[in-house]
Amino acid sequence: MESNPVERFPERYSELYEPSMRRRLIEPVRDLAVSLMSPLASAAYHIRYARVNHVRFVYYHFVFGDQASRFAEHLRFYRDNYRVISHSEAISRLRDGRVDDRYLSISFDDGFKNNAEVAAPILEQFGMPAIFFVVANLMKFSPGEESELESFSRSRFGHRPLRNMDRDDLRRLLAGGHEIGSHTLSHARLSNTTLAVAEREIAQSRTVLEEMTGSPVKHFCFPYGLAADFPAHCRDMVERAGYQSCVSAIRGANQAGADVYHLRRDHIMANWPISQLKYFTRTNF
């Protein structure tokens, strides 16, 4: 019997990756170590950094249905420990030097459907705006193009395909008070492309997303996220293309005076316990 193609999409995090030694053994050990280190990190934070004003950017890729209640716990932690603000406000505070408290801004990378279906309603319950950095070409896959989506996902994201958001999802997120940012056209590693391709990935993704959403796209997020993935000439291209900011995946807090085209940001998984969240939001100043 032929299976419904939609049934092939993972519905929980445990189905997302092919089974591997790393996922089965190394990640649980790392998670446990981080949880054990967390009280130490919190103690050091309260002594050294609790009064250091900063902007902390946290980002997710997905929130699956079985992670919804944990994700709500994360938002409660942010609400109790930070002033949660929109990405645009975070950027304007950093640009103007108005970093007079502990601020936090939430983002999502790539553009998967569960962002709109699971994460956004919970964010809205908490009255928290987020920015969704979407891969412009990913937004164009329609039902029926599963095999193309599968090869796109495996080559770009290294995991099984997930249903993608589309134009209507982006418009609904905007109407709900969220922002849409660009994460390139095709999730290209900008350090590995010619100048012309990098320019197109950066500038054209903005135009495509603005046409799709009918709204200005002001912020950029470069794929893969490490310093080596984002050479200085690309940083300058982002600024020239008219974006107001660019975030990385290099962990840490941002203080007044940070380069708004190379901001630090912490990757968070929606299934993590609060102890892990504390560890990553209380280190790397």
What residues make contact with Zn ion under the rule CB under 5 A? 109-110, 223
Tokens of 124: 């809205």
Which residue pairs from 195-202 have beta carbons closer than 8 angstroms and sit at least 24 positions apart in sequence? 195/233, 198/233, 198/234, 198/237, 199/237, 199/241, 202/234, 202/237, 202/238, 202/241, 202/243
Minimum CB separation of residue 24 from Zn ion in Å reads 24
Nearer to Zn ion, 43 or 226 (CB): 226
User: Whole-number minimum distance, CB 185 to Zn ion, in Å?
Assistant: 12
Residue number closest to Zn ion, CB atom: 109
CA-nearest of 249, 122, 109 to 184 is 109
Closest CA to 205 of 230, 186, 229: 186
How many Å apart are CA 211 and CA 171, to the nearest integer? 11
Say how far apart CA 243 and CA 232 lie, in whole Å.
15
CB atoms within 10 A of CB 50: 12
By C-beta, is 38 or 114 nearer to Zn ion?
A: 114
Cβ nearer to Zn ion, comparing 41 with 58: 58
Q: In angstroms, give the least distance from the CB of 135 to Zn ion.
A: 7
Rounded CA separation 126/159 (Å)? 30
Q: Cβ 263 to Zn ion, closest distance in Å?
A: 15
Nearer to Zn ion, 225 or 252 (CB): 225
Instruction: Identify the CA nearest to 115 among candidates 98, 101, 130, 125.
Output: 130
Residue 141 identity (one-letter amino acid): F
- Complex with Zn ion: residue 223 or 252, whichever CB lies closer: 223
CB 222 → Zn ion: shortest distance, Å? Answer: 9
CA-wise closest residue to 181 among 87, 101, 263 = 87
Identity of the residue, 248 or 254, whose beta carbon is nearer to Zn ion in the bound complex: 248
Shortest distance, position 64 Cβ to Zn ion, whole Å: 17
